[in-house]
Chain A
Amino acid sequence: DTAVSQTPKYLVTQMGNDKSIKCEQNLGHDTMYWYKQDSKKFLKIMFSYNNKELIINETVPNRFSPKSPDKAHLNLHINSLELGDSAVYFCASSQGGRAGELFFGEGSRLTVL
């Protein structure tokens, strides 16, 4: 069983389009995250939800909108895609109150043409 699963794994789209990436975790964790990894492998946190409540919202364009329908799911919707949005997006989860260990999904590679 995959602990943190993301779909799609690959996404190729045109500038200006809107796309979504879905994430689900079956670990029973209460906190979920979205990270962006650029071509140099730098990781940057974007959002964090705890029990469906937004708790971390880094400086991210408001074209990016996370949605957490329940604590096992965290989706990322991106409007009006730009070339600079091309990256690998990782979903992760953790159990609040513990040592902060993160469990990552396999990543979703977004390419904007």
Chain B
Amino acid sequence: GDSVTQMEGPVTLSEEAFLTINCTYTATGYPSLFWYVQYPGEGLQLLLKATKADDKGSNKGFEATYRKETTSFHLEKGSVQVSDSAVYFCALSDQGNAGKSTFGDGTTLTVKP
């Protein structure tokens, strides 16, 4: 079945540091890939997505590229802010699997001033 493996946390960075959160996946079909962010006390919200190989999703300074050859979708940001502190979830959606989304375990990011 489908699965998503993401970097274990927690991750603690200083403001303006570079962020990478690794994410790899296994899927039987051709999934769409997503990063969701969950701020404290809130629901998940879509951060960015990519629907086919080599697509790059970007939003709020975050980027991730759909790499089919390495089955990866790593999240990056060049300079993090305190307001980026949140839990980040990598996910895939496989339309051949009733559109079911599969989530990674989440990575908690804390950015210190």
B100→A43 contact, CB < 8 A: no
B108 / chain A contacts, CB cutoff of 8 Å: 41
B80 contacts chain A at the CB level, 8 A cutoff: no
B43→A56 contact, CB < 8 A: no
A96→B99 contact, CB < 8 A: yes
B85 contacts chain A at the CB level, 8 A cutoff: no
Report the separation of the CA atoms of residues A31 and B38 in the bound assembly, to the nearest whole angstrom. 21
B14 contacts chain A at the CB level, 8 A cutoff: no
Q: How large, as a class, is the contact surface on chain B?
A: 20 to 34
A102 / chain B contacts, CB cutoff of 8 Å: 36, 44, 46, 101
Q: Name the CB-closest residue of B to A42.
A: B105
Q: Name the CB-closest residue of B to A100.
A: B93
Identify which of B32, B42, B44 contacts A99 (C-beta below 8 A). Answer: B32
Give 20 A-B contacts (CB < 8 Å), ordered by A residue: A41-B105, A41-B108, A43-B106, A45-B100, A48-B98, A56-B98, A56-B100, A90-B44, A92-B44, A94-B99, A99-B51, A100-B32, A100-B93, A100-B99, A101-B93, A102-B36, A102-B44, A102-B46, A102-B101, A104-B45
Interface residue ranges, B against A (CB under 8 Å)? 32, 34, 36, 38, 42-46, 49, 51, 87, 89, 93-95, 98-101, 103, 105-106, 108
Interface residue ranges, A against B (CB under 8 Å)? 4, 31, 40-43, 45, 48, 55-56, 90, 92, 94, 96-97, 99-107
